Amino acid sequence: RRLAATRYGELLDGVPSIVTPEVTPEHVFHQYTVRVLGGRRDAVRERLARDGIATMVYYPLPQDRLPVFARLGGGCPVSDGLAQEVLSLPMGPLLAEETQARVAASLAAAVTDGR
């Protein structure tokens, strides 16, 4: 998974509006989650779906917005913003390099075409 994460990082390096996670020896990359900047995450996700690429938004609500924490009040503007940007790409130990290249190319086209 770290190798796949490293590959994604290389393939997505320099793609505008995409922020990739840091690859560290401790990170096992159960998910590979990027940030899609500019408020276009959902449009990008739809474009990837049309290209046959499954993605996931695992945490659409920040923790402080969950009903169990509603009584605490407050708010976290940073986590609110991040919840609108996160998008998890296909990830796994057997993910083929060709598949990653296709995902990265589709993602790059999605963020570039909508500008």
pLDDT, tens digit, 9 for 90 and up, residues 37-89 = 999 999 999 999 999 999 999 988 888 888 888 788 777 889 889 999 999 99
Taking the CA atoms of residue 67, residue 70, residue 75 and residue 78 in that order, the dihedral angle to the nearest 10 degrees is -20
Neighbours of 75 (CB within 10 A): 11
Of 81, 26, 20, nearest to 10 by C-alpha is: 20
Mind listing the pLDDT tens digit for each residue in 75-115? Answer: 788 988 999 999 999 999 999 999 999 999 999 999 998 55
- pTM, rounded to two decimals: 0.90
If you ran DSSP here, which 8-state letter would residue 66 be given? S
